[in-house]
Amino acid sequence: MMRLEKRPSPSRLWTAATPVLAVVVTMVAGGILFATLGKDPVAAIRLIFWDPLFSEQYASYSRPQLLVKSGPLILIAVGLSFGFRANVWNIGAEGQYIIGALCGTAVALAFYPAPGWYIFPLMVIAGAFGGWAWAMIPAILKTRFRTNEILVSLLLVYVAEKLLAAMALGAMRNPDGGGFPGSRNISRYEPAANTELIANTGLHWGVVTAFIAVIFAYVMLHKHMLGFHVRLAGQAPRAARFAGVRPGALVVFCLGLSGALSGLAGMFEAAGPAGRISIDFAAGYGFTAIIVAFLGRLHPIGILLAGLLMGLTYIGGEIAQLTLGLPAAAIQVFQGMLLFFLLALDLLSNYRVRPGRREMT
């Protein structure tokens, strides 16, 4: 039999090693999954993790896509990591992402077709504000009425999705679109477009913002009092109270920050890669970002790497879909398995596994 012994503090080695190990185990399990679907497992894994970056056939298209897909994931996950550290569970990032996109697009459509340098900055502000405001609903309900923020933030995702559909079919529908649902293409409207900053890199303002958020989060968590309070509140809530941390203020801060960043991600997506508001605008970034945050160990640098990896599975998944006929859902399963293995292997960073029977003391 095995015996578990709690470590006084998590092992640094295992904390860094488990995500890598989880990815490897997921690749093996994913290979088995692909094999049962009747696909060559080695080819599928190679197609997902290697070819998007290094094959001559796909790389020219897919390399820029890496930043396009990873940008929103990193941006959202950095915001979520603050809350997850402090035990504030915002799992409604998808909703905040949608509302941010709607607010940003609304600004662009309001100015259409006027020129003006100030339109894009206004959209950025509107996007962040929209996400922030949507996250304030669970925050205020939590601090005022002690309502569970997990359920409220998640239920608001469904509300946001309905609102998105209502806007795509109603108020924001393109008047020149021949009655088809969806807004005007604002990425073709110069003052509102979130363009590629360096050609063929996929680098747009959202990706830049994501990088800034990573640096900002790193400094905040490791050099700033507020970051210390966030970590303290998560690890020792009672000690945090004695240290003068106000739990309510922390809830508002964590939800507000993650909401604003998710809103920004949505707005940059709508003005750039997606180009417009449509019924199927929400692609699940808000949920995948939860996996990214955990895979990155809630650490900004880790999230950066995890976001890039998860972005890669999206692109690789698309390629595998086209060439092998691998269903899109298989990638979702793959991502879910990754989180399972990560959580399972986390045991190693928090506990020592010792041989021998449980001793009675």
Partner 1 sequence: MDLSAIDPLVLAASLMIAATPIMLAGIGELISEKAGVLNLGVEGMMITGAITGFAIAVQTGNPYLGMIAAMAGGAALALIFAVLTQLLLANHVASGLALTLFGLGFSSLLGQPYVGVRPPRTFKLEIPVLSDIPVLGRVLFQHDLIVYISVIVVALVWYFLKYTRAGLILRAVGENHDAAHALGYGVVKVRFLAILFGGATAGLGGAYLSLVRVPQWTEGMTAGAGWIALALVVFASWRPWRVLLGAYLFGGIVVLQLNLQAAGVRVPVEYLAMSPYLITILVLVIISSDRARASLAAPGSLNRIFHASH
| Footprint (CB under 8 A) of partner 1, residues 336-355 | 336-337, 339-340, 343-344, 346-347, 350-351
Minimal distance in Å, beta carbon 114 to partner 1?
29
The DSSP result for 144-158, as a single string, is HH---HHHHHHHHHH
Q: Which is nearer to partner 1, 119 or 330 (CB)?
A: 330
Take residue 118 and report the two structure tokens written for it.
Answer: 């100030």
Distant-in-sequence, close-in-space partners of 4: CB < 8 Å, separation ≥ 6: 347, 351, 352, 353, 354
In DSSP terms, 5 is beta-bridged to 352
The nearest distance, CB 236 to partner 1, in angstroms, is: 15
| Token pair recorded at residue 259 | 């909401």
Specify the residue, 2 or 114, whose C-beta has the smaller distance to partner 1.
Answer: 2
> Between residues 85 and 204, which has the closer beta carbon with respect to partner 1?
85
| Binding track, positions 181-220, relative to partner 1; x by CB under 8 A | ----------------------------------------
Which of 133, 136, 163, 208 is in the footprint of partner 1 by CB under 8 A?
163
Helix (H, G, I), strand (E, B) or coil at 127: helix
CB 42 within 8 A of CB 31: yes
- Contact between 170 and partner 1 by CB under 8 A: the answer reads yes
Position 335 contacts partner 1 (CB under 8 A): yes
**Residues near partner 1 (CB under 8 A), total:** 52
Nearest-approach distance from CB 202 to partner 1, in angstroms:
25
CB of 253 to partner 1, least distance (A): 19
Q: 233-252: which residues touch partner 1 (CB under 8 A)? A: none
| Binding residue for partner 1, selected from 120, 129, 132, 287, defined by CB under 8 A | 287
Q: Does 226 bind partner 1 (CB under 8 A)?
A: no
Is residue 283 a contact point for partner 1 (CB under 8 A)?
A: no
Of 170, 201, 167, the closest CA to residue 70 belongs to 201
Q: Please, which residue, 112 or 351, has the CB nearer to partner 1?
A: 351
Long-range contacts of 22-29 (CB under 8 A, 24+ apart): 22/295, 22/338, 22/341, 22/342, 22/345, 23/309, 23/338, 25/341, 25/345, 26/334, 26/337, 26/338, 26/341, 29/337, 29/341
Nearer to partner 1, 216 or 351 (CB): 351
Phi, then psi, of 34 in degrees rounded to 5: -65, -35
Interface residue with partner 1 among 45, 91, 103, 265 (CB under 8 A) is 91
Q: CA torsion sign, 100 to 104 to 107 to 112?
A: negative
Is the Cα dihedral 158, 159, 163, 165 positive or negative?
A: positive
- Other Cβ atoms less than 10 A from the Cβ of 162: the count is 11
- Least Å from the CB of residue 126 to partner 1: 21
Contact flag: residue 358 with partner 1 (CB under 8 A): yes
- CB atoms near residue 117 (< 10 Å): 7
Residues that bind partner 1 (CB under 8 A): 4-6, 89, 91, 141, 144-148, 150-152, 154-159, 162-163, 165-166, 169-170, 287, 290-291, 294, 327, 329-337, 339-340, 343-344, 346-347, 350-351, 358-361
